[in-house]
Amino acid sequence: MRWKGKIISDPPNSIGKISMPKNTPAGTELNSKIVDEVGIICDYDDELYYKVFQLIQYSDDEGDRAFRIAYWRYNEDKNRWIWGQYHQMIHIDEWNELYQKAKDKGFFDRYKD
């Protein structure tokens, strides 16, 4: 792809990758696999982001899944994509509850433009 007149690498594809173990505030070590992902390129002139919505699976149990909204940022000095350090992950059941509350309130229709 091209950005600022230069050819740069396409954003990374994380599908199938294993996440590095993370310790939660409670001290639980989480291992996960990225099952699926969709993303968009966001060009802010001086900064380039690849924002993604991912499906994360914590174990071999397909019921133990979560969504993650995350991003990659292109670093011109290093000439590569850098993973954003902090992201929100939300269990699918929690997402469904939150999404339904927002939908019932008319949240998405009210703020779409």
CA distance 78 to 51: 19
Give the pLDDT of residue 22.
Answer: 64
Give the pLDDT of residue 34.
Answer: 93
The model's pLDDT over 1-46, given as tens digits with 9 standing for 90+, comes to 999 999 999 999 999 998 766 666 777 777 789 999 999 999 999 9
CB 84 within 8 A of CB 70: yes
Sequence letter at residue 34: I
For the chain, the structural domain boundaries read 2-110
The half-sphere exposure of 84 on its side-chain side, counting CA atoms within 13 A, is 15
Burial 11-45 (b: 16+ CB within 10 A, else e): beebeeeebeeeeeeeeeeeebbbeebebeeeeee
